[in-house]
Amino acid sequence: MLQPANRLTLIDALRPPATFRLESAMAVTFTLDLRALLAVPLALAHSGSEGIASDGSQYEPIELLHALRANASKISVFNQVGEIALPPSRRVFAFLEQTVVPVRAPLGGIVHPKVCVIRYEAAGEPPSGQQREKRLRVIISSRNLTFDPSWDTVVRLDEATDEKAASLEPVGELFEGLLNAVIGTASIDHQDRVHLLSAALKSARFDLPVGVEDLRMHVLGLTPTPSPLPAASERALIISPFVSDDFFTRVHLAPIDELVSRPEQLDHLAETTLESVSTQISAFDDGSLAALETGEEQTSPHDPGRPLVGLHAKIFAYESDGRARLFLGSANATGAAFSSNVEVLLELIGSKEVLGIDRLFNGNCDEPGLRDLFVTYTRHEDADQEDGFPPVDSTRRAIAQLHFEGVVEESGTGWAVTYRSREMVRAPDGTEIHCWPLASQGNRRRVVLGECLEARFETTLEAISGFLVFELAHRYNEEVRTGFVVPVPLVGVPESRDRSLLRALVGNAELFFRYLLALLDDDLGQMDLFDALDFGSEDPATFESGFVNLPVLEKLLRAMRREPAKLAGLHPLVSDLAADDALPPGFADLWMVICDEAELGALD
């Protein structure tokens, strides 16, 4: 059943199986929040139950930095160009610069799938003469890589040993197609990763979800593709947060029994479209719709940073001859979704008793069903009609598709980055554009329209940024604006940048020892990794000297005697920090002594 209480977070879906670790991953999302992307390497690094902040907290705990260093280079994230939300300024985003790959739809729409392919490998050394075991996982959802508090669907499919299980080869074809849709050229690392994972998907088979008898994957929009939705059925229900008349006049000509959408979207449908729904038209109401109007500042309705609340799941459900077909994925009930957008739909096939509409959406005596959040739709005759994208939104995507480059060079004050575009920056009259490096929020520059961008920013080695922020403002009925991030390839970056950045983010002995105490504390329990930096901060003066103090030493010695496994788990992190000269003075020597006593081995 699709029960409101039956929830799976994306972080949970990413976690590796016990005794496994990340080998490589590729993902595609429409909108992207870099704060959410920060959590992905950490989730992929841990099979335990450590918490991860869902609000993009400002802290970068040392374990997060270690996970970023270890795993960010193993991940390729494709996203629709112009749809990276503007986050708070943070230097740690520098570790994600080689992860993000902007793409555009070949047929002129948008790149809209939300798919992740992960390959895990067994930790530890394999037995002599054997290959390290590897496992694939595919996640297909309606959720973007953001912190949106919206209702979505997520399907997690794990690799099976049964050759008769389901094939997901079209997923590999999706990512191969995205390589041809990259703005500029994808790096060799991204190309190799996509080719290897796509080849693995050709031969891999995946376990079917409980009650599902067959499974098919549909990829739309790389080339003109007919709709996979059935031309006729005995009963049909469509749930879609966005709807348009042309879906019902060009894509889905067969009548449907039930339609569920956002009320403002239903208001924009023609009367004839609404009349084609034979049984029930409903709006989805979980009490969150009012949150749409509570933003602190006026932003475009299509701004990539504007949070999505309420209904965001896309579900097409059909019944015929005792059988049920369920389509889940990224496609809305719009004409664009089935003509010009890149979309995915996962088709699940089974019996009506298991996958039927009433079975999926109705509740039972113990738990409410999703249908309990449906309310009868009443049309608002005075609803405002939208005239496409406001100018700032079409301009945002046009600017994001320009070819940019950043040149890094030494300057009299330290370092400087000059950002340039090959093409002129154009915008409608009345548009004002500013730009700045993501790591230097207070360093804004006015962009001259009708000229190629050339903006030089003085910076430090640690604040060099491969993400360039643009903010657009334009008069459209009232003042609206949009902010977004563009990945910019950098040339001339010194090799010492990452090590210098790591040392700057670790900060000082106080930060390191507070985090170490949190990890070693007997009552740590389920402490959130983003909260660990607050642990023991009531008396920061105890850490001022930079030397190992008595509380830290006591807990290290206690762990050495009673729980050497804790030290073994910390050993890779400490080794990494020691290699980058980021440990407090004297700690490396102490750690080596403790390692010898606990028989953990020397620092690498």
Looking at residue 380, what is its pLDDT?
Answer: 79
DSSP state of 448: P
Stronger pLDDT, 392 or 100, i.e. the higher one: 100
Boundaries of every domain in the chain: 10-214, 220-376, 391-493, 507-598
- CA–CA separation, 501 and 510 (whole Å): 17
As given in the structure block, the two tokens for residue 324 are 């049920």
**276: region left, alpha or beta (phi > 0 left; psi from -120 to 50 alpha):** alpha
Residue entry with tokens 């139950």: 49
As given in the structure block, the two tokens for residue 56 are 């993009």
In angstroms, the Cα distances linking 599 to 162, 182, 481, 486, 586 are 42, 49, 59, 48, 20
- Contacts for 588-591 with beta carbons within 8 Å, 24 or more apart? 590/548, 590/553, 590/556
Q: What is the mean pLDDT of residues 105-121?
A: 96
227-275 pLDDT, tens digit per residue, is 999 999 999 999 999 999 999 999 999 989 999 999 989 999 999 999 9
Q: Residue 192's Cα: distance from chain center in Å? A: 21
Looking at residue 155, what is its pLDDT?
Answer: 93
Q: Which residues contact 167 (CB under 8 A, 6 or more apart)?
A: 204, 205, 206, 217
Looking at residue 387, what is its pLDDT?
Answer: 47
457-487 pLDDT, tens digit per residue, is 999 998 999 999 999 987 654 557 889 999 9
Whether the pLDDT of residue 289 is over 60: the answer is no
As given in the structure block, the two tokens for residue 591 are 């750690």
Give me the amino acid identity at 386.
E
Structurally, at CATH architecture level, domain 220-376 sits in: 2-Layer Sandwich (3.30)
**253: region left, alpha or beta (phi > 0 left; psi from -120 to 50 alpha):** alpha
First CA to last CA across the chain, in angstroms?
Answer: 50
Whether the pLDDT of residue 163 is over 80: the answer is no
Q: Given CA atoms 352, 358, 360, 364 in this order, what sign does their dihedral have?
A: negative
Whether the pLDDT of residue 55 is over 60: the answer is no
CB-CB neighbours of 261 under 10 Å: 24
Q: By the 8 A CB rule, do 82 and 484 touch?
A: yes
Pairing of strands 374-376, 235-239: unpaired
Identical fold for domains 10-214 and 220-376, yes or no, is yes
pLDDT category of residue 3 using cuts at 50, 70 and 90: low
DSSP string, 287-319: S-GGGGG--SS---TT-TTSPP-EE---EEEEE
The H or E element containing residue 406 is: strand 404-411
**Nearest to 309, CA basis, from 147, 110, 111:** 147
As given in the structure block, the two tokens for residue 65 are 């930095």
Q: What is the mean pLDDT of residues 558-577?
A: 76
Q: What is the mean pLDDT of residues 574-599?
A: 79
Among 89-103, 373-387, 510-524, 565-579, the range scoring the smallest mean pLDDT is 510-524
In 3-state terms, the chain is what percent helix, strand and coil (to 5)?
30, 30, 40
Whether the pLDDT of residue 529 is over 60: the answer is no
- CA–CA separation, 88 and 86 (whole Å): 7
Kindly report the pTM of this predicted structure: 0.85
Whether the pLDDT of residue 595 is over 70: the answer is yes
- CA–CA separation, 599 and 604 (whole Å): 14
As given in the structure block, the two tokens for residue 316 are 């097409």
Whether the pLDDT of residue 527 is over 70: the answer is no
Looking at residue 63, what is its pLDDT?
Answer: 66
- CA–CA separation, 215 and 283 (whole Å): 29
Whether the pLDDT of residue 296 is over 60: the answer is no
Whether the pLDDT of residue 288 is over 70: the answer is no
Looking at residue 303, what is its pLDDT?
Answer: 82
Number of H helices, E strands in the chain: 16, 24
Q: How many CA atoms lie within 13 A of 470 on its CB side?
A: 33
**Nearest to 70, CA basis, from 521, 479, 563, 579:** 579
Structurally, at CATH architecture level, domain 10-214 sits in: 2-Layer Sandwich (3.30)
Specify which residues 2 forms β-bridges with: none
Looking at residue 448, what is its pLDDT?
Answer: 95
Looking at residue 420, what is its pLDDT?
Answer: 97
Q: What is the dihedral of CA 160, 166, 167, 172, to 10 degrees?
A: -70
Looking at residue 543, what is its pLDDT?
Answer: 41
Q: By the 8 A CB rule, do 395 and 428 touch?
A: yes
Pairing of strands 277-284, 154-158: unpaired
CB-CB neighbours of 277 under 10 Å: 20
195-207 pLDDT, tens digit per residue, is 999 999 999 999 9
Residue entry with tokens 């070819």: 403
In angstroms, the Cα distances linking 30 to 143, 213, 219, 318, 591 are 9, 30, 15, 27, 45
341-398 pLDDT, tens digit per residue, is 999 999 999 999 999 999 888 877 667 778 888 899 988 766 555 545 567 888 999 9
Give me the amino acid identity at 300.
S
In angstroms, the Cα distances linking 204 to 18, 130, 140, 212, 448 are 20, 19, 16, 18, 52
393-449 pLDDT, tens digit per residue, is 889 999 999 999 999 999 987 899 999 999 999 998 888 999 999 998 888 999 999
Looking at residue 49, what is its pLDDT?
Answer: 36
- CA–CA separation, 233 and 389 (whole Å): 35
Q: Please state, for a pLDDT cut of 70, what percent of the chain lies above it.
A: 83
Q: What is the mean pLDDT of residues 265-293?
A: 81
Q: What is the residue-averaged pLDDT of the chain?
A: 83
Looking at residue 43, what is its pLDDT?
Answer: 80
- CA–CA separation, 458 and 570 (whole Å): 38
- Contacts for 538-543 with beta carbons within 8 Å, 24 or more apart? 540/510, 543/508, 543/509, 543/510, 543/513, 543/514
CATH no. of 391-493 = 2.60.40
Burial 230-242 (b: 16+ CB within 10 A, else e): eeebebbbbbbbb
Whether the pLDDT of residue 6 is over 80: the answer is no
Q: Which residues contact 98 (CB under 8 A, 6 or more apart)?
A: 72, 73, 187, 189, 466
Q: Please state, for a pLDDT cut of 90, what percent of the chain lies above it.
A: 51
